[in-house]
Chain A
């Protein structure tokens, strides 16, 4: 506890809170939401320290975050030195989370629906074909060279085409995410199956499993951890592709939220949208970490 109070982030945090409460040069909306966010950040961290868990990395990250928020608050609201339209005040940005909450929530749900649908479909297909192509040499010789050509093409390149090609925007977004995930999942699975340790493979073969047992009880559990571990990267990729697609033809979603307001030069809402996307991706990542620990007990 003492360590926390004497530390740099705590000091920065106190300054930040005072600064927010002080009147500034620029006219802003109510500072309540911003203050709540800052206080929650600091409060959670102090609580953590209070529980005796002093984490150095967290300490360093918070230092950086508070410094950035301080600079933002100081130069925008207090000194009014930044461009009033391009660099909105933090008070206004965080206020958007209250005023636009309905649009944000529908945006999150809309995006998550497409993202999950695309990810599940893409992973199932990629892993399924990957295991088959890894296990059956003839299929491998046919598909692997093709995969090597197609997989390095960034899905962003053909996003506009897919959006134009598919009947509805939602199906197009799912298709783009599926395409973005399928190839890396396929390649990873094939490489993992073909690179299986010889002893393990021999042990499995010696037990004479039929094809289904081999696939479901040996190969699938063997490649599964690698897939989960790659899921973080996969997730970031899919999210990137999805927001990209949403910026092209959607009428809801997180990408749409940002694109729509940047068309109107409402950078306050754009900034809020960016923060929201960051928060959503972080939460998803935490979920994957949890999933990893839950599902793969043997690693």
Chain B
């Protein structure tokens, strides 16, 4: 792998501030936030509700732009959405007027223009197969449960095969059994690509501590206004959720994060 020049990290937040206008003038969500993310890293962002986790993802995607500071990817400033990165929200990521299959195909077509229709269809089928949605291809999102909609959105994101996955509590609405399956699928997808030329970088927002420890290389506990604590998770991969949850290592990480939550006076879910 080529060494990135000038010791620059893959993704960098440099003194980023962002806020929304509010009744009291201006409410800052993130103030002077700096962070480096390496290529191929799996970063989990965890924190209380309203601490700005989702704002962080929107900023990185380019849906909103920082009011102060800058965000760079490979040294280039983020000025808007592009296809190197794909974002997936907790819900409502699908277009209700397109069938499940069309939704996935739309994403594929956007990501790879010039693809033949047959290939597009085949890739969409494979993506839906991965998340167990291949039989629902002709249904509209409105006919599906929240979890199924989310699996479709995940299939679309995976099929688009971007370099950077920005995931905002993507498995929140999915039932526990599927959730484990999807977590493992995500990890396998991320690991598989790590061996190839284009490693995937995942920034994953959650409020589930187990999920955070299971998935992340590094966990960022976000406090109010963009202050954060970092916890590195050097657990060996591949991780098996069934084996991990009882282990001492896992519990100690779990404890560290739980304490961070309690320190702020919040209850964990």
A202/B110 contact (C-beta < 8 A), A218-B95, A298-B140 known: no
Q: Mark A201-243, 1 if CB is under 8 A from B, else 0.
A: 0111111110001000110011010000000000000000000
Cβ of B254 within 8 Å of any chain A Cβ, yes or no, is no
**From A200, A208, A222, A224, contact of B83 by CB (8 A):** A208
What separation, in Å, do the CA atoms of A202 and B58 have in the docked complex? 9
Cβ of A138 within 8 Å of any chain B Cβ, yes or no, is no
Residues of B with C-beta under 8 A to A297: 140
A203 and B110 contacting across the interface, CB-CB below 8 Å:
no
**From A205, A213, A224, A298, contact of B142 by CB (8 A):** A298
Cβ of A197 within 8 Å of any chain B Cβ, yes or no, is yes
Cβ of B199 within 8 Å of any chain A Cβ, yes or no, is no
**From B97, B110, B140, contact of A209 by CB (8 A):** B110
A203/B83 contact (C-beta < 8 A), A217-B106, A297-B140, A299-B142 known: no
Q: Mark A72-83, 1 if CB is under 8 A from B, else 0.
A: 000000000000
Segment from B38-46, B84-92, B201-209 that makes contact with A: B84-92
Cβ of B82 within 8 Å of any chain A Cβ, yes or no, is yes
B140 and A208 contacting across the interface, CB-CB below 8 Å:
no
What separation, in Å, do the CA atoms of A245 and B61 have in the docked complex? 54
Cβ of A2 within 8 Å of any chain B Cβ, yes or no, is no
Measured CB to CB, the nearest residue on chain B to A221 is B97
Q: Mark B216-239, 1 if CB is under 8 A from A, else 0.
A: 000000000000000000000000
A199 and B96 contacting across the interface, CB-CB below 8 Å:
no
How many chain-B residues does the 8 Å CB contact rule pick out? 23
Residues of B with C-beta under 8 A to A213: 110
Please indicate which of the listed interface residues B83, B94, B97 has the most CB atoms of chain A within 10 Å of its own CB. B97
Count class of interface residues, chain A: 20 to 34
Query: Which chain B residues in 7-52 approach chain A with CB under 8 Å?
Result: none
Give min CB distance, B55 to chain A, whole Å: 12
A207 and B92 contacting across the interface, CB-CB below 8 Å:
no
Give min CB distance, B100 to chain A, whole Å: 11
Give min CB distance, B109 to chain A, whole Å: 9
Give min CB distance, B59 to chain A, whole Å: 12
**From B96, B97, B107, B141, contact of A207 by CB (8 A):** B107
Cβ of B130 within 8 Å of any chain A Cβ, yes or no, is no
What separation, in Å, do the CA atoms of A197 and B96 have in the docked complex? 12
11 A-B pairs with C-beta separation under 8 A: A202-B87, A203-B89, A203-B93, A204-B95, A206-B61, A207-B86, A217-B106, A221-B97, A221-B98, A298-B97, A298-B141
- Seed contacts A202-B87, A206-B63; 15 additional CB < 8 Å A-B pairs: A200-B95, A202-B58, A202-B61, A205-B63, A206-B81, A207-B83, A207-B106, A207-B107, A208-B82, A209-B110, A217-B106, A221-B97, A222-B97, A298-B97, A298-B98
